């Protein structure tokens, strides 16, 4: 009976959004394919604390390259139908589909179906940056010494990845937008029936975002809630909530985000991010701080700790091409273990096409 209850909001979504589609759509051009993507290249120097037996090189490189295939058409009644496929391209041996989804936009809102993160990831404000996309780049450079990493840590994407979902986003009214998503399971690439004894299941999230104007700038606020059920006789379910805010005034941007996770295995965690940036013309500078505290046992008094700070600068060479330089420090302290202090310098080239 519980599973059937999940079908009720899905049916409501199709009924509400299906009404304008049921009207005479009229002729529309066939969907035309367009090509886009991104290329991020990083080169770094780092001085990191090492474990016995390790001999880590002091320099290295990273890349993040994706190719986007997208297309859309607009019916005579105003309904917009679009599709997008994102493919990872930095693996020289094989390609990998990162996301693939269908969008249907009407005056009643937006229906999204496919393998994609939920609306919380789209709504939430990352701590502002100028040099590169997010703090997971540092997490890919510095060896992970605790139980929790920093990849996609501030939104519910950390729980679902790009698993199959169906989502609804409301129209924006007085600056307020609401979005909700349902995931049969959080296992990416899972098709058809699955065994609930081996998969966490029936995950859902709901988020609200508000954005308004303030004197000489704008202000945004976002909040969300997430829940998933554990596999049968398991403890891999998650419950979490997050909030984020950002203010822009002149060339200054100030923002912060916080997420609290209380999973079924009782390994609770909290993460706080704060940052400020200033941009003038093609130049940008910024500073940020990230703090993670995570339990390693049920109700542990001693927790895994991660603290991270960075200073960054960037220059927009031409539209779609940004060069950056970032200095960082990361302190990691496993519960009951030694502390690791790492510093480094990252140069970056970010292209959008």
Question: Helix, strand, or coil here: 76?
Answer: coil
19: enclosing H helix or E strand: helix 2-22
CB contact set of 76 (below 8 Å; sequence gap of 6+) = 24, 25, 26, 27, 28
Instruction: Confirm whether 197 is domain-assigned.
Output: yes
- 53 vs 56: CA distance, rounded Å: 10
Integer-rounded Cα Rg, in Å, for the chain is 22
Which among 199, 131, 117, 215 has a CA at the least distance from the CA of 163? 117
Question: pLDDT per position in the chain (353 positions), as tens?
Answer: 444 444 444 554 544 555 555 555 555 677 888 999 999 999 999 999 999 999 999 999 999 899 999 999 999 888 999 999 999 887 655 557 789 999 999 999 999 999 999 999 999 998 899 987 555 788 889 999 988 877 778 999 999 999 999 999 999 999 999 999 999 999 988 888 899 999 999 999 999 999 999 888 999 999 999 999 999 999 999 999 999 999 999 899 999 999 999 999 999 999 999 999 999 999 999 999 999 999 887 766 788 999 999 999 999 999 999 999 999 999 999 987 889 999 999 999 999 98
* Strand pairing class (80-88; 283-295): unpaired
The CATH number for 147's domain is 2.40.160.10
What CA–CA distance (Å, rounded) separates 120 from 100? 18
pLDDT on residue 1: 43
Looking at the domain assignment, is residue 203 inside a domain? yes
User: Can you read off the two tokens belonging to residue 155?
Assistant: 């939104």
| pLDDT value of residue 135 | 58
Count of domains for the chain: 1
Q: What is residue 186's three-state secondary structure?
A: coil
User: Is residue 224 included in any domain, yes or no?
Assistant: yes
**Structure confidence at residue 18 (pLDDT):** 54
Residue 139 counted as domain residue: yes
Question: Hey, how many other C-beta atoms are within 10 angstroms of the C-beta on 247?
Answer: 18
**CB of 299 closer than 8 Å to CB of 338:** no
CA distance 302 to 335: 6
Note whether residue 25 is domain-resident: no
- Domain range for 279 is 2-20+34-352
For residue 26, tell me if it sits in a domain.
no
């Amino acid at each position: 009976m519980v599973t059937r209850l999940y079908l009720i909001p899905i049916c409501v979504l199709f009924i509400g959004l299906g009404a304008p589609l049921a009207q005479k759509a009229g002729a529309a051009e066939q969907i035309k394919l367009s090509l886009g993507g991104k290329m991020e290249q990083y080169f770094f120097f780092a001085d990191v604390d090492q474990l016995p037996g390790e001999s880590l090189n002091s320099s290295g490189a990273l890349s993040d390259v994706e190719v986007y295939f997208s297309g859309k058409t607009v019916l005579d009644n105003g309904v917009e139908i679009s599709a997008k496929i994102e493919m990872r391209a930095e693996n020289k041996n094989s390609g990998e589909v990162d996301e693939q989804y269908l969008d249907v936009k009407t005056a009643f809102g937006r229906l999204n179906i496919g393998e994609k993160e939920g609306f919380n990831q789209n709504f939430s404000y990352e701590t502002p940056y100028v040099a590169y996309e997010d703090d997971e780049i540092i997490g890919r450079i510095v060896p992970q010494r605790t139980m929790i990493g920093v990849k996609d840590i501030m939104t519910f994407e950390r729980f679902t990845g790009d698993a199959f979902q169906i989502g609804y986003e409301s129209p924006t009214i007085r600056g307020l937008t609401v979005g909700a998503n349902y995931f049969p399971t959080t296992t990416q690439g899972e098709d058809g029936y699955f065994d609930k004894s081996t998969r966490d299941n029936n995950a859902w999230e709901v988020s609200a975002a508000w954005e308004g104007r303030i004197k000489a700038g704008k202000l945004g606020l976002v909040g969300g809630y997430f829940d998933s059920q554990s596999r049968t006789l398991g403890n891999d379910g998650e419950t979490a909530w997050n909030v984020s805010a950002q203010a822009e005034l002149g060339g200054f941007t100030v923002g912060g985000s916080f997420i609290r996770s209380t999973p079924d295995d009782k390994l609770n965690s909290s993460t706080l991010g704060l940052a400020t940036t200033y941009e003038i013309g093609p130049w940008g500078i910024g500073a940020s701080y990230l703090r993670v505290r995570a339990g390693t046992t049920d109700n542990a008094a001693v927790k895994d700790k991660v603290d991270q700070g960075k200073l960054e600068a960037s220059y927009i060479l031409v539209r779609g091409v940004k060069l950056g330089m970032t200095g960082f420090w990361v302190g990691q302290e496993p519960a009951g273990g030694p502390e690791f202090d790492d510093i480094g310098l990252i140069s970056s080239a970010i292209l959008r096409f």
